Amino acid sequence: MNKRRKERIARRKALEDWSKAVRTRDGRCMICNKLKGLNAHHILSKRLYPEFKLEVWNGISLCPFHHKYSRMSPHQDAIGFASFMLLRNPELFYALIDKIRAKTTSEVVSEGSRDIRSKL
């Protein structure tokens, strides 16, 4: 087995472990309380926030219907889902906002540093 394949398998296993940890922690769909067939959803996008993709606090358990298809789905209405998160768990919501702000601030600072260095 080549190195790339081993890395891909390790990444997939890490995401499976993350998913299981989120589903075990919640134990039910956080919208309708359904107990079976749960999906773990990343609250902060894996693509936009890759450093948080394996953090259990960045996950929420949802049944397949609420994960993908309902009007409450984070995939259908991100703003509506954020509103749900704010009402259901304000502490987690504001902690996530703080993480986003910290990342955004550090990106702006590093962008500014590059601009300054390029002008020297």
**Per-residue pLDDT, 117:** 40
| Residue type at 114 in one-letter notation | R
**Residue-range domain boundaries for the chain:** 3-92
Whole-model pTM: value is 0.74
Whether 48 and 107 have beta carbons less than 8 Å apart is answered as: no
20-41 tens-digit pLDDT = 999 999 999 988 899 999 999 9
Greater confidence (115 vs 99) lies with 99
Beta bridge partners of 62: 39
66-108 tens-digit pLDDT = 888 887 788 888 888 888 888 888 888 888 888 888 876 666 5
**Angle CA(27)–CA(55)–CA(21) in degrees, nearest 5?**
30
pLDDT above 70 covers what percent of the chain?
A: 86
**Per-residue pLDDT, 114:** 46
**Per-residue pLDDT, 63:** 93
